[in-house]
A and B are shown apart, each in its own frame.
Chain A
Amino acid sequence: MCGILFSITPATSCPLHPNSTSLPDLISRRGPDTTSVHVTTFANYTLTFTSSVLSLRGKLTPQPLVDPATGSVLCWNGEAWRINSALVPAGVNDAEEVLKLLLSVETPEKGFARIAGPWACVFFDAVKGRVWFGRDCLGRRSLLELRKGDWKDGVTISSVGDGHEGWKEVEAEGLRYFGLQSGEEGVVPFLHREDRDGSQVSMVYTPSVYGSAGANREI
């Protein structure tokens, strides 16, 4: 398994958990093979990505993965068994394939809909200035969120909490996002198209849960 620890902090303030020493250690335990940190800034925010890796697919591939062309970043805790219905072959690292996929599609939710396998991830689309995060629709991997109110005042997203109060499970109901330029927050719900009659079917959620915040597009 791999570990994800990501935070958004306004450039003017300190990270939300400056004194929590246990969190990086807990993340490293999940992925004992390597842990790396990538820090970047975008529109008055500091984005800190920490990823630990338990290397199981292809050669050891440290994360976070950064796309040199765009500056987009992926923290991937998952197993993409198939992408576009094709098996990801032996010896190929699935995280690299997922990043390629996400960079090639119009919007990330279209990419995630093509992945079969468990996942939780954080993806920063540096071109559009959006941070996407979520868990597969069966919730097979953990992802927690910690914030004191508005995400713009600071938010931490992590595979595991440190036991302190305030952590919430990121619901496996859709793909969440923060717009770093627009200041908006939303969710693209997971919807499933019934093969036969073409009517929309929801697996796990009521769209109105996040109704006001998010667009209701279909995955």
Chain B
Amino acid sequence: MPFPKLNQTIEPRKCLNTDSPEVGKLKEVLLESVRTRVRDIPEPPGPGRKVRLAILFSGGLDCSVIARLAHECLPVDEAVDLLNVAFENKRFVEARNKANKASKPKVRTQLPGVAAPAEEPPQGGTTDPYSICPDRITGLATYTELQRVCPGRLWNFIQINVPYPDLLSHRQSVINLIHPHNTEMDLSIGVAFYFASRGMGFSFPSNQLYSTPARILLSGLGADELLGGYARHGTAFRFRSYAGLLEELQLDVGRLGKRNLGRDDRVLAHWGREARYPFLDEDVVAWCLGTGVIGKCGSSEEEVVEGKRVLRLLATALGMKEVAGEKKRAVQFGSRSARMEAGEKGRVKGTAVVS
């Protein structure tokens, strides 16, 4: 496992744009990684032709680039499921209802064409709790973009809507699975992955109940650590320029193996599926470690603070201009699985031990 040291060079006058060799090279290693992970997936058991691949799909930059590259690797007549999780979060629904009441007769804030799930017909004046989740909104937007840039491919956008009572009935199972991890943050990430991997939801736009037969799930995890996607990377750069950013990236590199992948594995595998992480391929990791910081993160404060510059340029080069500008959002906030309860209980800290 020949991982090189983190490259510490800061090349003077270096710029990063769509024509930079780094963008092409990242495409090369990442495409090969995706190809390795999607070739020869066996047909799921049972009669008939089945979808073999699903993507944990928030609509954000990382998973969308992975989806776009999977399109390059798979026969065009093969459908791919995009699993998008959204939780019924009391705090946000209450806040939204209050706001709606205050400004009657406001039209429901829902994307055009996004119907509420069949079992819960939308009621006049009440907010559909799922359509207001950030990841649902981003997911649908990127789904549209994927359809545009991947002609011929059938993408099944699966709305995995998790009503609050469902969350409660599975909560203890997830607590057991994430153990020995035990904080509120672990749990909110755990439930998001748990329901995503369960793979049950409503097809878009038909709203038919759907359960993915795919046994392979691709995830965009790892890009933030390797390419500087967290807010703290930008903060470190603001205060201490590249020296600060490199120090932060070095910390991430050192922690890669200590990241919470064991926890995620236990939750995701519970439904008899396997998550695969193209960004955590040995060759991709080695390329990220060996490439200079400007070649990954960019040459201006604006670029570095936005994060993962080289990946954004790759998204642009792949025809996905909108997703190239997507902001980083943690799964538990994007799917609204964190801080579910109204009132005091909803304000509990992520580091608090689950009670």
A: residues with CB less than 8 A from B are: 1, 3, 22, 26, 29-33, 54-57, 79, 81, 87, 90-91, 113, 116-118, 135, 137-144, 159-163, 167-169, 171-173, 190, 192-195, 201, 203-205, 219
B254 at the A/B interface (Cβ < 8 Å)?
yes
What CA separation (Å) do A150 and B41 show in the bound complex? 42
A148 to chain B, nearest CB (A): 15
What CA separation (Å) do A30 and B270 show in the bound complex? 5
Interface string of B36-57 (1 = CB under 8 A from A): 1101111001000000000000
Given A54-B215, A113-B1, A159-B269, A139-B177 contact (CB < 8 Å): no
Cβ contact within 8 Å between A79 and B276: yes
Cβ contact within 8 Å between A116 and B254: no
Cβ contact within 8 Å between B179 and A161: yes
A contacts with B: majority SS: loop
Specify which chain B residues have a CB less than 8 angstroms from the CB of A116 in the assembled complex: 1, 281-283
Q: Of B65-73, B112-120, B259-267, which binds chain A? A: B259-267
What 10 pairs between A and B have smallest CB-CB spacing? A163-B176, A1-B269, A172-B257, A204-B257, A142-B262, A142-B265, A90-B40, A32-B272, A1-B274, A139-B257
Specify which chain B residues have a CB less than 8 angstroms from the CB of A204 in the assembled complex: 254-258
Nearest B residue (CB) for A1? B269
Which residue of B36, B41, B269, B281 has the most chain A CB atoms within 10 A of its CB atom? Answer: B269
Specify which chain B residues have a CB less than 8 angstroms from the CB of A22 in the assembled complex: 176
Specify which chain A residues have a CB less than 8 angstroms from the CB of B262 in the assembled complex: 135, 139, 141-144, 169, 172
Cβ contact within 8 Å between A56 and B215: yes
Specify which chain B residues have a CB less than 8 angstroms from the CB of A194 in the assembled complex: 4-5
B253 at the A/B interface (Cβ < 8 Å)?
yes
Chain A to chain B contacts (Cβ below 8 Å), 28 pairs: A1-B275, A29-B271, A31-B272, A33-B45, A54-B272, A54-B273, A54-B274, A79-B276, A81-B36, A81-B281, A87-B36, A116-B283, A118-B276, A137-B1, A137-B257, A138-B257, A139-B256, A140-B280, A142-B269, A144-B262, A161-B176, A163-B176, A169-B180, A195-B4, A201-B5, A203-B3, A205-B257, A219-B1
